[in-house]
Amino acid sequence: MLEEPFEVTYEVNVFFDELILPKQEEFEYLAGPIKSTRQTTTIQRGEVKKDISVTYTYIFRALVPGKIDFQPAQLNVKEEYFESDTLPLIVINQRWKQKNEIPPATEGTTGI
């Protein structure tokens, strides 16, 4: 919803040098990154396997209603760049306090 905070989370399975966020006028950056790292080491039949998961969460809010694409972020891993997917969003300009609240009637319509 318009001006309501929402999270965008990036999760990767490598250590990286830099995460470059898109710059878009339609969104306001509120907070982040909130970083979480998980590493596991498994030894199975003498074979050592290491896994990593790095998660960065950011909080934004939309400033305009409509269909808006949250553009890809770039990840720099040892001077090699990778892009995330585009995140399509539909931002609505109405706030309802309860799920079953009837939205206000628009001009030219009547509610029953």
Give per-residue pLDDT as tens, 62-109: 999 999 999 999 999 999 999 999 999 999 987 655 555 555 544 444
Is the separation of the CB atoms in 54 and 35 below 8 Å? yes
Residue 111 has pLDDT above 80, yes or no: no
- In tens, the pLDDT along 27-69 reads 999 999 999 999 999 999 999 999 999 999 999 999 999 999 9
Q: Is residue 110 part of a domain?
A: no
Q: Which structural domain, as residue segments, surrounds residue 9?
A: 5-91
Question: pTM for this structure?
Answer: 0.73
Q: Is residue 63 part of a domain?
A: yes
Q: Is residue 32 part of a domain?
A: yes
Q: Is residue 43 part of a domain?
A: yes
Q: Is residue 40 part of a domain?
A: yes
DSSP string, 46-85: TEEEEEEEEEEEEEEEESS-EEEEEPPPEEEETTEEEE--
Q: Is residue 98 part of a domain?
A: no
Number of domains in the chain: 1
d(CA 35, CA 76): 17
Q: Is residue 84 part of a domain?
A: yes
Distances (CA, A) of 77 to 67, 70, 82: 31, 22, 8
Q: Is residue 104 part of a domain?
A: no
